[in-house]
Amino acid sequence: TTSPNLTNVINTRQVVDLPLGNRNPVELAALQAGIAVIGTDTRGASVSGLRQTAVNLTQDGINAMDNFVKTSSFFAITTPSLNSTAEFSITTGTVGSDSGRGAAQINLVTKGGTNDFHGGAFLQVL
């Protein structure tokens, strides 16, 4: 079957390896065809030429958008951690009714927990 959807899935290894200046995995949306980034800030990006509010952003299936202000399309209420993101997917086109609203569906999946303590550190030089 054919589908008008375009889906890009970025796995755990790619999330860690791809360079992200502000360590926000939502910046990976700029890699998708049909996403027009204005300047260097992905938060104000446009999907398929539509308004910035034509995006549905979910984290583990739960709405993570700022539904009150709705000024930036790729802005989550809480900034997802790069280290906790297991998978990032973005779908553009005509999506099904099970996906919610918007011309683009962004889904962040977090890593599963363990009984072991672990952590990481990073240094960001400006």
Give me the pLDDT at residue 126, please: 67
Residue type, 108: L
Number of domains forming the structure of the chain:
1
The reply to whether 122 falls in a domain is no
Residue range of the domain that includes 51? 6-110
Average pLDDT, the chain: 76
Contact 46, 38 (CB under 8 A): yes
The whole-model pTM stands at 0.72
Query: Looking at residue 82, what is its pLDDT?
Result: 77
Task: Render pLDDT for 49-107 as a digit per residue (tens, 0 to 9).
Answer: 777 777 788 888 888 776 666 666 566 666 677 778 888 888 887 777 777 677 788 88
CATH of the domain at 88: 2.170.130.10
Contact between residue 55 and residue 104 where contact means Cβ atoms under 8 Å apart: yes
Give the three-state DSSP class for 78.
Answer: coil
For residue 113, the 8-state DSSP code is P
106 belongs to a structural domain: yes
Residue 121 above 80 pLDDT?
A: no
For the record, the structure tokens of 105 come out as 């569906």
Residues 2-28: tens digit of each pLDDT: 777 888 888 888 887 887 777 777 777
